[in-house]
Chain A
Amino acid sequence: MKYAKLIVSFVLTIGLFFTLNTKLGSIPPIGKFLNPYSGIWQNESTESISGNVRIPGLKDKVTVHYDEQLIPHVFAQNESDLYKAQGYLTAKHRLWQLEFQTFAASGRLSEIIGEKALDYDRTERRRGMGYGADQAIAYMEKYDKETLGYIRDYADGVNAYISQLKPEDYPVEYKLLDYKPEAWTPKKTALLLMYMTKMLAGNDDDLEYTNALRLLGKDNFDLLFPDFFDITDPVIPKETDWSFINVPQTPLPNSKAVLDTITETISKPNPDNGSNNWAVSGAKSATGNPILANDPHLGLNLPSIWFVMQLSTPNHNAFGATIPGALSVISGFNQHIAWGETNATRDVIDWYKVEFNEDRTKYKYDGQWKDVSIRVEDIKIRGKENYKDTVLYTHHGPVVYDKNFKSDMELAGYAMKWIGHGGGNNQKTFLELNKAKNYDDYVQALQYWNAPAQNFVFASTEGDIALWIQGKFPNKWEGQGKFLMDGSNPENDWQSYIPQQFNAHTKNPERGFVSSANQHPVDENYPYYVFNDGYETYRNRVINDYFNSKEKFSVEDFKNLHNNNYNLKAAEIVPYMLEHMDASTLSKEEKVIYNEIKTWKFNNDINEVGPSIFRQWYGKLYNLVWDELDSEELELDSPFTYQTIYLLKNHSDHKFMDIVETEDKVETAKDLFLIAFKEASERLIEIKKEKGDYTWLKYKATYAGHLLQALPAFSRFDIPIGGDRNIVNATSENHGPSWRMIVEMSSPPNAIGIYPGGQSGNPGSKYYDNFIDDWAAGKYHQLNFLQSNQATDAIMSTQTLTPEN
């Protein structure tokens, strides 16, 4: 009996130990997680931002002043120390995010969250994320040891922080998922830059278009997906003279698209990833100093993608938004210039069909067999055996789709040609921009930038404004890469690149301002082929109209424009729909909604109901128009919003307007307006029942979600902010202006900025999400640009990083 009791109590004890010490499904190991000495209670703390910290490998002392927003102002004696300090401080405030993003970039999430991430991981690896990072490191090793040296300094800084940590100090996410940080490496910086490249230049529709071309024929395809819309207000002004360009476009070969049927394609980045930037010249500025603004539109996440810092040495002094993992300031200013980026979406991904020999060791090219090279991706899976994925590489790039992945072709595959695989030295551009003193330095810095192509806006204290569309662009033949190409035909390869000096740009244009909002980079007169990559057509016109509307602009005007909620898209279609819809059959309830949208002035403010009605109405309408393209067997894209509205107004009897399902009836656009309106009304009435009303505030319910699938405990919901996609204030549900900055180019520059998050990555810190309310209200924070290593009134605490002796 006693033995029985002993055994039972022993088993209970061991069982309890095991239960409390092990992660079970999504439940953290509860003993480890909750105990007060090493569990989450240890994360219940504010940042330590005073005193001395010893950091091995520093050459000299580094001073870090923190202001009330927890922005570190870093004063180092040399660049090597500066980037070591940046690595250290980024890790200190954002360690989990810093590491997690590179795990996501390299397809290693299965290591952390298990088998459910395997498909994601395989996609990222087959996309060649790790391969591209390897190329970037190899390039720097060969051509730019200096930059690689700074990247190593950054890594040393991150590792100095990690090595100081005891398990109780790990950020709370590590405790939740029960793992620990690993050492940082220079390759992780390269991976982070690949992540940005994927996010901003990883979108393409070649395979979807191939399906569409086969299904619809060329005429209909061109109508639905035109190279240019009937209006263009391009980034580089129309009147630009291109006569200096003396290298012609690649001549058109006799090449045909490969009209395969593609049933599944890999995941794409959010097509809303975009941005606004603009600058006015001194002549157009109320104070006589140029003013510049930037607001990158990205997913609204916590911790935020941005971390604001001032980074200075005796030779330069830069301030602005940094990205954890990358060195120096990405969107910001120094004592002489200011710069910012928007995405220049250009088609830099093409797909080639390759045919293999019988054992898939060779592929056909130019009438011969060429060797395939092999990269084995060894994917660790938590709690399971590793998964080994063999990826075949051709001279085009990785064969993403083959019999092992999203395809059933036994002896063929689709190879991806992507600018992201080309190595290159993107980090150098930012290191140089941080130190640039004038327009020439800025242009010099840009030449290193390959991808993702960006519209780099510029303003200087000398009074120049400029905008370069910078990236490494293939000089394509007309139409090259719109559809799947035959990979065995050398004429289909990228023949050359557009010489960098011929990239579209503008300096001090006559109109007195430069701007970009992801619209068409140029008009038809630019001598190279520019494919319509789904260019924006609304924000750009609102912005340019605004700057054409009066003589002088102030910082206050810039703020108003950032927060402008005018819905041009709605203004261009709603009156037309109201006019042409037969409203006589509307029920009493529908009539109420009808009258509501009739009085709407097209502003997407939070208290309006118009935006919600429009979103529902247009959404239903869009689906009705493109019901032909709604297929479960095929990957297809629906046409762009602008073109859809164009067709509704100009081709209202086109056969696409007909609803396929109703065989005995032929609908026109006018019929669709009414059907869509009734469907929308039904849904709106439901929403009213669920949420009390359908004001834009409640309908949109903007949120900033934690990077772990918007874990509610660490996210912020129902943020009161207006706007929407295609609006200058581009805030939709979970996407929007991720960093708003305005810089006036006085000497020294005077800047304000804000982002929807906070400087700390610790959900237990009051600095985790403390900017969100001000951001939503359209407010900004003064960016305290310290001119010397002297704490001012704005500084609340100072910490010194000292070399270890």
Chain B
Amino acid sequence: MKNNIINFFATIFLAFILSFVLPWWSVMTAALITSLFIPLKKASVFFVPFLAILVFWAVYSFILSSSNDYTLAKRIAVLLPLGGNPYVLMLVTGIVGGLAAGITAVFGKQFAALAVK
């Protein structure tokens, strides 16, 4: 459980730092690193980084969007189409980032498992 919490915050922290030097896939890099150095078990391997980045991206989007009355988010939520609901767009944003992070972490776990052997 302790590792879960550490991994969660470390993934967010790393993703945040790496975002200054890497494009959007910095979340994949972050998840890869934490999966190697803060190993998790079973479903947590996927879900902890998934949730970490989901929360990070959704909250970050919310902060950017709320200060502008969700003007663009409402439009993009028509474009995609998500019924014009900006909150759904934030959730989708979070899920996209989370998926990228989670899947990469699964790969990292397999890689680590092999390397240990």
A residues with CB within 8 A of B: 2-3, 5-6, 9-10, 12-13, 16-17, 20-21, 30-32, 34-46, 167, 172, 176, 711-714, 762-766, 768
Contacts and interface: CB of A to CB of B under 8 A. Distances in A.
B100 A765 contact: no
Contacts of A40: 72, 76
A216 to B, nearest CB: 49
B104 A13 contact: yes
B20 to A, nearest CB: 8
Nearest to A8: B110
B71 A41 contact: no
A2 B113 contact: yes
Given A13-B103, A713-B76, A763-B72, A35 B93 contact: yes
A113 to B, nearest CB: 16
8 contacts: A12-B107, A17-B25, A21-B25, A31-B24, A35-B27, A38-B23, A713-B75, A713-B76
Contacts of A766: 69, 71
Contacts of B110: 2, 5-6, 9-10
Interface string B56-78: 01001100110111111101101
The prevalent SS among residues of B at the interface is helix
Contacts of B92: 34
B28 interface: yes
Given A12-B103, A37-B24, A764-B75, 18 more contacts: A3-B114, A10-B107, A10-B110, A12-B106, A13-B103, A21-B24, A31-B97, A34-B97, A35-B23, A40-B72, A41-B65, A44-B64, A167-B23, A713-B78, A713-B79, A763-B72, A763-B75, A766-B71
Contact of A34 (B19, B68, B71, B93): B93
Interface centre among A20, A38, A172 (most CB of B within 10 A): A20
A583 B73 CA distance: 55
B96 interface: yes
A715 B24 CA distance: 28
B19 A44 contact: no
A265 B94 CA distance: 50
A12 B72 CA distance: 32
**Nearest 9 pairs of A and B residues by beta carbon:** A764-B72, A35-B24, A713-B79, A9-B107, A36-B60, A713-B78, A6-B110, A13-B107, A44-B72
B62 to A, nearest CB: 9
Nearest to A36: B60
Contact of A36 (B71, B93, B106, B117): B93
B33 interface: no
Contacts of B71: 44, 763-766, 768
B83 to A, nearest CB: 12
A36 B107 contact: no
B99 interface: yes
Contacts of B61: 36, 41
Contacts of B24: 20-21, 31-32, 35, 37-39
The prevalent SS among residues of A at the interface is helix
Contacts of A6: 107, 110-111, 114
Contacts of A172: 72
B98 to A, nearest CB: 11
A2 B103 contact: no
Contacts of A16: 99-100, 103-104
Contacts of A20: 24-25, 96, 100
Interface string B12-36: 0000000100011101100000000
A2 B117 contact: yes
Contact of A31 (B60, B67, B75, B100): B100
A714 B75 CA distance: 7
Nearest to B58: A36
Contacts of A712: 78-79
A477 to B, nearest CB: 55
A45 B114 contact: no
B87 to A, nearest CB: 13
A34 B27 CA distance: 13
Contacts of A9: 103, 106-107, 109-110
Interface centre among A12, A35, A172 (most CB of B within 10 A): A35
Contacts of B70: 44
Contacts of A34: 57, 89, 92-93, 96-97
Nearest to B65: A44
Nearest to A43: B72
Contacts of B64: 36, 41-42, 44-45
A712 B81 CA distance: 10
A766 B67 CA distance: 12
Nearest to A714: B75
